[in-house]
Structure 1
Amino acid sequence: MEELKVKTQDKPASTREIFCLSGPLHLTAVDWKNFHHRRSVAASLVQGVYILERDRQQNRQGPQAHAPPWWDFFNFQLIHLLVDDVDSSIFGAVYEFKPLAFKNKHSAQNAPNYVIAFRGTINKSDSRSRDLKLDLLCIRNRLHESSRFQLAMQAVESVIAVAGTSSIWLVGHSLGSAVSLLAGKNMTKMGYSVETYLFNPPFLSVPVERIKNEKLKHGIRITSSIVKAGLAVAVKGHHQRHQQANTFLLLSAWKPYLFVNPADHICSGYIGYFEHRKKMEEIGAGKIERIATQNSIGSLLSGSAQSDSGPLHLLPSAYLTINLSQSPDFKRAHGIHQWWDPSFDCRSELHEYR
């Protein structure tokens, strides 16, 4: 259906930016114990960051701003903006939950006190250049070197210092998922496990998922595992492999929520990544896979495996949710709106590293 356009200060706004036209209006009463409700709220708060930046670009202020309903509806308050130091774009936000807004305080149990949300790439002239540069850093596994990520980590550490980790959510979409994922990994290494929601997180590897022949796909994965395990043994000494294994085991206690769409080649690699680990255990090749899953061929060949950051997409454990609904095109498959669709159909599974 062709999107309507709403004029604001002579600037067109897509209906997808306006909460009352495309938001999860069905969530009039949030059950914070309900996984689907939590997913929908988390995605909406990420959308709030997208619209904050669009409001800034379009100079929409006060009553003309479209962003506030995306958090007001769920009784959150915006308490801090995260602004990129290079292009001055808004890339993140810190929200505080206001449970007193509820008549029944018990209905707010299990709600987060704070949510730190990060948007993905916005393909508009005011933000495109900076976002694409960060996308490239992400592909090269150098996102941790960017000033945007450093600002994000400062925000996460500041909120944790005030509130601890049991009442905080980290949420992000696409590039913002990469920021949340890396921040979550860092905090876990520091001894803090933060509840994390990652929508369409980039899987930075060869897109094997796009191969239709299942036998060929399985064969490629087995070969890749054997090559990675062999390279790791050849390139890394025993002490380094042992240290890496300990770090991976430490990270396994953190179980972020991953939301992926099979039609989105940016994130669909996580489906095969976790399914292949199960199959390798089933055929008795678990020892090989436990070494392989900690490494990527690119990092082993380039020597970047020496970096403490490690390949971003390699995760020991995760709650993986796959969207089983049909997506008409890549834009919909990668978009944030799918994650609060009331007709959402999915399959979820916990994958744990043992």
Structure 2
Amino acid sequence: MGGGGKGDDFNNVGPKYLTCVDWSNSNHRTAVASCLVQGVYSLQRDKIKKRKSEAHLWWESFDFSLAEPLINKDDNSIYGAVFEYKNYQKNIPHSGKPPSHVIAFRGTMLKFKTWYKDLKQDIRCLFNNLNKGSRCKHATQTIETVLKKHSTDEKVSVWLAGHSLGAGIALLAAKTMTKRGFPLETYAFNPPNSSLPLEKLSDIDVFKRVFRFSESFFKGTIAVFSHNKTQQHDPRLAAWTPYVYVNPSDIVCAEYVGDVKHKNFMVDFGLGKIESVGAGISLRSLIFGIERAEPIQHLLSADITVNKNKLNVVETDNVLKKCWYEFKKAHGLAQWWEPNPTLRANWETHSIRPSNLCLEMESSSST
């Protein structure tokens, strides 16, 4: 469900414009977080190709060092990394507060031997049990280790970041840590959504609304009669607000846009409570009798950035190739370190909050 794009060369495709990071600027934070995730992709490709490192500039350009690569024991692949900010403890003035550590996770890589284990994790996303997988468990253990090392330092700030499958791991690990009293700033780029991608179906809004309403009502009823408790009962999760980045042309994450529309629709009819309860239940888990798990996309609070720019892909008469090119473009990580402020002006911010479950939309532009 992912990739890092072909460009591992920071000097060729990276945000070289970002020579001085303003940590109070949301666009700068987004760019740095996405670049560190790209660094994980590059680390894995360096390892597979046994080449001279091309990865280091993706973190060293922003004064980070590689503290630890995260290895998947099943196939010995690098699926994540812990990055440490070099100047965090030094008496150097910063514009805004930088993180002391960023723990980043890559998505699926289809061109190398790791594809098999990656796809097994992708299937876990579909059935909402990614949290039972070895990567998610190891990621949570790593986060705990980093936090324990700095337990006496109240100023330490740890971020999580991930793309595609890695975004799912970041969100689930962040939920776990939040429940334990450690809410972490989280950046999820093109995260998986286990719901049917109805948002990709155009010109049938009535059908989409009816289907989503029926699904919410069914799951909400099941939850009430089974006394099913979901994350809505935990005020700590309601207070945690991850940053989620989606492209409506990306089949993997497009339904996050549909989820926001549906929340508003249900609230307008006074059914926000039913929607909230139902959203915490996996329909696939109910149908297939799988152990209940909360879907990755079940977020009580989130800031969702939607890239509304039109795709600019290579023209081809081959329909399959065209679809593949469009998917790679829409699902790509490079869009989130976009240097052009005119294009960033076409990003929309959808804010979900548990108090009203409503959407607040505003244009997001570079500052």
Q: TM-score, normalised by structure 1?
A: 0.88
* One-letter identity of the residue aligned with 1:348: T
Contact 1:188 1:251 in 2 (8 A): yes
Relative distance call for 1:100 and 1:146 in structure 2 (3 A) is closer
- Give the structure 1 partner of residue 245 of structure 2: 259
- Give the structure 2 partner of residue 161 of structure 1: 148
| 2-structure distance, mates of 1:291, 1:150 | 26
Structure 1 residue ranges without an equivalent (≥5): 1-13
- Give the structure 1 partner of residue 209 of structure 2: 218
1:170 to 153, 160, 169: 160
Please give the residue correspondences for 1:46-195 in structure 2 after superposition, counting only pairs within 5 Å: 46-60=37-51, 64-99=52-87, 105-163=92-150, 167-195=157-185
For residues 253-277 of structure 1, give each alpha carbon's deviation from its aligned partner in whole angstroms, at most 9, with x where no partner exists: 1111000000001011111112211
- Give the structure 1 partner of residue 365 of structure 2: none
Q: Which has the higher contact order (CA 8 A, sep 6+)?
A: 2
| 2-structure distance, mates of 1:100, 1:290 | 39
SS in 1 for 2:94: helix
SS in 1 for 2:213: helix
Aligned residues: 330
Contact 1:232 1:300 in 2 (8 A): no
| 2-structure distance, mates of 1:149, 1:289 | 27
* One-letter identity of the residue aligned with 1:268: A
How far is 1:195 from its partner? 0.3
Moved more, 224-233 or 167-176: 224-233
* One-letter identity of the residue aligned with 2:221: G
Percent same amino acid among aligned pairs? 40
How far is 1:286 from its partner? 2.1
SS in 2 for 1:99: coil
* One-letter identity of the residue aligned with 2:283: I
Structure 2 residue ranges without an equivalent (≥5): 314-325, 356-367
How far is 1:111 from its partner? 0.6
Which portions of structure 1, spanning 4 or more consecutive aligned residues, are displaced by more than 6 angstroms?
none
* One-letter identity of the residue aligned with 1:206: L
Q: Kindly report the root-mean-square deviation, in angstroms, between the aligned alpha carbons of the 2 structures.
A: 2.1
- Give the structure 1 partner of residue 13 of structure 2: 22
SS in 2 for 1:71: helix
Contact 2:187 2:244 in 1 (8 A): yes
SS in 2 for 1:252: helix
Higher helix fraction: Structure 1 or Structure 2?
1
SS in 2 for 1:107: coil
Relative distance call for 1:291 and 1:101 in structure 2 (3 A) is closer
- Give the structure 1 partner of residue 327 of structure 2: 330
Contact 2:232 2:238 in 1 (8 A): no
- Give the structure 1 partner of residue 275 of structure 2: 289
Moved more, 335-344 or 134-143: 134-143
1:42 to 18, 24, 33: 33
Moved more, 341-350 or 113-122: 341-350
| 1:312 correspondence with 2:303 | no
Q: TM-score, normalised by structure 2?
A: 0.85
* One-letter identity of the residue aligned with 1:320: I
